[in-house]
Amino acid sequence: MTNSTISAAPAAIQWIGESDGFLRLIDQTLLPTQCVTIDCRNVEMVWEAIKMLRVRGAPAIGIAAAYGVVLSLHDAGRHHSDSPSAAARTAADYLATSRPTAVNLFWALDRMRYLIAAHPQGQAGLAEKLLAEARAIHEDDRLMCRAIGRNGAELIRDGATIITHCNAGGLATAEYGTALSVLFTCQDQGKQLHVYADETRPLWQGARLTAWELTQRGIPTTVICDSMAAHVMQTRSVDAVIVGADRITARGDVANKIGTYALAVVAKHHGVPFYVAAPSSTFDLSLVDGADIPIEQRDPAEVIAPYGHRIAPSEVEVYNPAFDVTPAELVCGLITERGVISPVNRESIAEHFKQP
């Protein structure tokens, strides 16, 4: 691991070298007090980084997994029974077990599987082709996030106050993020903003990561407890809520970090527009009802002993879903790289994706 200063933070995801290179990630579990990079040199290290949230955010874990498939070819030659293509297929299946909710993970791995299937004998050059595809996934996400920012910025006035939840910035994607891309683009356009960042328990992605990204950019930011968002909307002028997503169904139900649903209900009550920013890779058009989205259950220790500090009796039962589902009727608009979907329903989403 290597340390770097907060003011000169590296990119969240970097591939170093060519097909025999390695994947470098910011270990997000240590932010904001330390900015440390980890070098993943095999598939197991990438799986662990995804599972333990060293890399997190739906687009980012898809990108990392794609690079993980490339790493599988480093070890293929050590096992005579494994051809390069077989090793890559095995790696894709293994990486798919790391986290269940974010559909971008499976979208990226399916792209890698498609390429592997086109080279069933693992012909020479497979490693280079897989790396090129992983880099294309990385670049596609960067471009989609920039376009999301441009489309979303049109919805936000100069001087606006925004509430966001969890982290949907550059740490969660290839570059600008999804929800935060809207804010960063507004800043690029000269708009002044103030952001309330929900702390996002139990892992504090809002306080640790979103607040860090926003302050890096010089955007005025106030961290609030998740339970304070309703009070803020009741007593202060809030122009919009903007969040990211891990999976969006064909009718617009949205799976995002736990606490998003409550925020959407409160926004609806107070007449505050609730927007979800996500690339097309986050849509799962094979699912209609949000109840069918698999919800990851995480370690009880994250709730009762965060970062090793026990705050509840060890005998207590713990329910720790990582995500909740916000029904489509609570979403004012879905901001994608293609534009803004509003109203949010099955028909408008289908029409949106018919566009070239």
Report the CATH number that the domain containing residue 85 is assigned in CATH.
Answer: 1.20.120.420
Q: For residue 317, what pLDDT is reported?
A: 97
- pLDDT for 261 equals 98
Same domain, 34 and 71: yes
High-pLDDT (> 90) share of the chain, %: 88
Which of 120, 144, 168 is the C-terminal boundary of a domain?
144
Decide the pairing of beta strands 240-243 and 274-277. parallel
pLDDT at 157: 98
18-33: per-residue pLDDT in tens?
A: 999 999 999 999 999 9
Residue 83 has a pLDDT of 83
The answer on 97 and 11 residing in a single domain is yes
Residue with tokens 């969006």: 248
Specify the pLDDT at position 81.
Answer: 56
Please state, in angstroms and as integers, the Cα–Cα distance from residue 207 to each residue in 6, 47, 174, 224, following that order. Answer: 16, 25, 21, 8
| pTM of the model as a whole | 0.92
Tokens of 162: 């925004």
258/137 same-domain check: no
Cα 155 to Cα 131: distance, rounded to the nearest angstrom: 37
End-of-domain residue from the set 80, 113, 144: 144
pLDDT of residue 11: 87
- Structural domain of 106: 2-144
* 3-class DSSP state of 274: strand
Structure-token pair, residue 131: 């790396």
Dump pLDDT digits (tens) for 158-175: 999 999 999 999 999 999
Q: Determine the 3-state secondary structure of 173 from DSSP.
A: coil
Rounded average pLDDT over 258-280: 98
pLDDT of residue 121: 66
Q: Are residues 108 and 251 in the same domain?
A: no
Identify whether residues 155 and 288 lie together within a single domain.
yes
Task: Give CA–CA dist 187/174, Å, rounded.
Answer: 19
Query: What is residue 118's predicted lDDT score, i.e. its pLDDT?
Result: 87
Q: Are residues 139 and 201 in the same domain?
A: no
113 and 8 inside one domain: yes
Which of helix, strand or coil describes residue 119? coil
The answer on 342 and 222 residing in a single domain is yes
Residue 326: pLDDT above 70?
A: yes
Number of compact structural domains in the chain = 2
Q: Give pLDDT, residue 80.
A: 44
Alpha carbon distance 240, 139 (integer Å)? 29
Higher pLDDT, 288 or 77: 288
- Alpha-carbon span 86 to 76, nearest angstrom: 8
Q: What is the reported pLDDT for 7?
A: 39
Residue 254 has pLDDT above 80, yes or no: yes
First to last CA, the chain: 44
The CATH number assigned to the domain holding 346 equals 3.40.50.10470
38, 4 Cβ separation under 8 angstroms: no
> What is the amino acid identity at position 329?
E
pLDDT in tens, 195-237: 999 999 999 999 999 999 999 999 999 999 999 999 999 999 9
Contact 199, 232 (CB under 8 A): no
What residues act catalytically? 246
The full DSSP string for 49-103 is: HHHTTSS-SHHHHHHHHHHHHHHHHHHHTT-TT--HHHHHHHHHHHHTTS-SS-H
Together in a domain, 347 and 222: yes
Are 108 and 133 within 8 A, CB to CB? no
Buried b (16+ CB within 10 A) or exposed e, 47-68: bebbbebbbbbbbbbbbbbbbb
Band (1; pLDDT cuts 50, 70, 90) = very low
CA dihedral 12, 15, 16, 22 (to 10 degrees): 110
How far are the Cα atoms of 99, 109, 181, 282, 349 from residue 103, in angstroms, in the given order? 9, 10, 20, 6, 17
The model's pLDDT over 56-83, given as tens digits with 9 standing for 90+, comes to 999 999 999 999 999 999 876 555 456 8
- Residue 9 contacts by C-beta under 8 Å, 6 or more apart in sequence? 26, 35, 216
Report, as an integer, the average pLDDT of 125-136: 94
Q: Final residue of a domain: which of 117, 144, 171?
A: 144
Residue whose C-alpha is closest to residue 232's, from 168, 161, 183, 169 = 161
Average pLDDT of the chain to the nearest whole number: 93
Please give the Cα distance from 238 to 201 (Å, whole number). Answer: 22
The Cα angle at residue 143 between residues 141 and 149, in degrees rounded to 5: 100
Any idea which of 116-120, 129-133, 351-355 has the lowest mean pLDDT?
116-120
For the chain, what percent of residues have pLDDT higher than 70? 94
Q: Is the pLDDT of residue 2 over 80?
A: no
What's the pLDDT score for residue 9? 55
- In this structure, the strands spanning 193-198 and 221-224 are parallel
pLDDT for 314: 87
